[in-house]
Amino acid sequence: MRKITLFVFVLAAFFSCKNDEALENEIAKIDTHFNIERFDRAFAEAKPEDLGQLKKVYPFMFSNHVPDSIFIAQMSDTLQNELLNEASKKFNDFSTIKNEINRLFQHLKYYNVSFTEPRIITLTNNVSYRDKVIVTDTIVLIPLDNYLGQDHKFYGNFPKYITQNLEPSQVVVDLAKAYAEKQIFQSQRKTFLDEMIFFGKQLYFKDKVIPFKTDAEKIGYSKEQLEFANFNEDMIWTEFVENEMLYNTDSSLPARFIAEAPFSKFFLALDNETPGRLGQYIGWQIVRSYMKNNKVSLNEMLQTEAIDIFNKSNYKPSK
């Protein structure tokens, strides 16, 4: 009997992989049309007399409330020039990122036929890492100084859990997150479960639109951090359930298990060994279980209430 069960499992996995491969081959045929506009380089090379032309081409990059003298001063500012120089060196070749953005856009067009490619503008933004990317329906802004590499000198005073994701490989991951946020609906985010499912939706969205990225890259973990979460999934879930956290509205719970942090806060001796955001990780597994056990589309799931997703997920972490 065990041999039959194993055979059925292997067979199901085989056909699932074949179906995934066929889908990716279909998506790869979708045409996209976009350019990467290097505003960072244009500004670095501009002279004061070029400002008028820059403002004409990139009007959204210049506030009407800021006098031209400020922008002209920035052209000769030592710090600004160093930021621009470092961005230019790191991203002299943008082909890898452009290819990943192309693949993201192909998947977005597959799952949303109304999606149209925006203008993509690169810039520097004084290492404002809390605003990793800005996405609208028509324009995407990518501040390159947020992706210079975790060991870059500009990040010397930042904590490790922040710098580990200031990598070029995270550009398309952050874009996918921004597009997920535009499409997710939940009427409320009051309980800890609401928060977990919200971020679980984000991460599952990444599963579908950037499947070429690893799970560690999608959630922003190191390989070791993801291994910890995978190995201890049952323990994490047991802590959440036994301490009656799921339907709790205590505002400290998202800070302990959802927000960016060096580790998760169970108030146990092993806390320092844990990665942060384990609530997001569990939410991801709940949404994955829901999608596996229910015939719903990606867009339908994004609009489904958290409690309905949980109740129909049949989520049971393996021990």
pLDDT at 1: 55
Burial 30-68 (b: 16+ CB within 10 A, else e): eeeeeebbbbbbbbbeeeeeebeebeeebeebeeeeeee
Note whether residue 25 is domain-resident: no
Domain-ending residue, one of 163, 182, 201: 182
pLDDT at 102: 98
On whether both 155 and 191 belong to a single domain, the answer is no
On whether both 210 and 279 belong to a single domain, the answer is yes
Report the candidate in 133, 130, 177 with the shortest Cα–Cα distance to residue 158: 130
Burial 230-260 (b: 16+ CB within 10 A, else e): eebbeebbebbeeeebbeeeeeebbebbbee
pLDDT at 318: 81
Report the candidate in 242, 204, 38, 11 with the shortest Cα–Cα distance to residue 111: 204
Distance, CA of 228 to CA of 281 (rounded, Å): 11
pLDDT at 3: 55
On whether both 212 and 86 belong to a single domain, the answer is no
Q: Which residues constitute the domain of residue 72?
A: 36-182
Distance, CA of 288 to CA of 55 (rounded, Å): 46
Instruction: Tell me the torsion sign for CA atoms 254, 257, 258, 260.
Output: positive
Distance, CA of 285 to CA of 121 (rounded, Å): 34
On whether both 216 and 128 belong to a single domain, the answer is no
Note whether residue 26 is domain-resident: no
Number of domains in the chain: 2
**Angle, alpha carbons 119-125-131 (nearest 5°):** 75
On whether both 173 and 200 belong to a single domain, the answer is no
On whether both 57 and 130 belong to a single domain, the answer is yes
On whether both 146 and 197 belong to a single domain, the answer is no
> At which residue do the structure tokens 């470092």 appear?
86
On whether both 72 and 96 belong to a single domain, the answer is yes
Note whether residue 275 is domain-resident: yes
Note whether residue 109 is domain-resident: yes
Tell me the CA distances in angstroms from 112 to 48, 164, 176, 179, 306, one per residue in order: 43, 32, 14, 11, 22
Residue pLDDT, tens place only, 164-214: 999 999 999 999 999 999 999 988 889 999 999 999 999 999 999 999 999
Domain-ending residue, one of 148, 182, 216: 182
Distance, CA of 71 to CA of 53 (rounded, Å): 13
On whether both 205 and 299 belong to a single domain, the answer is yes
Low-confidence residues of the chain: pLDDT under 50: 5-6, 8-9, 11-14
On whether both 41 and 133 belong to a single domain, the answer is yes
Domain-ending residue, one of 182, 199, 225: 182
Q: In a 3-state reduction of DSSP, which class is residue 266?
A: coil
On whether both 45 and 170 belong to a single domain, the answer is yes
Burial of 288 (0-12, 13-18, 19+ CB in 10 A): middle
Note whether residue 66 is domain-resident: yes
Note whether residue 237 is domain-resident: yes
pLDDT at 187: 84
On whether both 296 and 211 belong to a single domain, the answer is yes
Residue pLDDT, tens place only, 132-166: 999 999 999 999 999 999 999 999 999 999 999 99
Note whether residue 123 is domain-resident: yes
Note whether residue 169 is domain-resident: yes
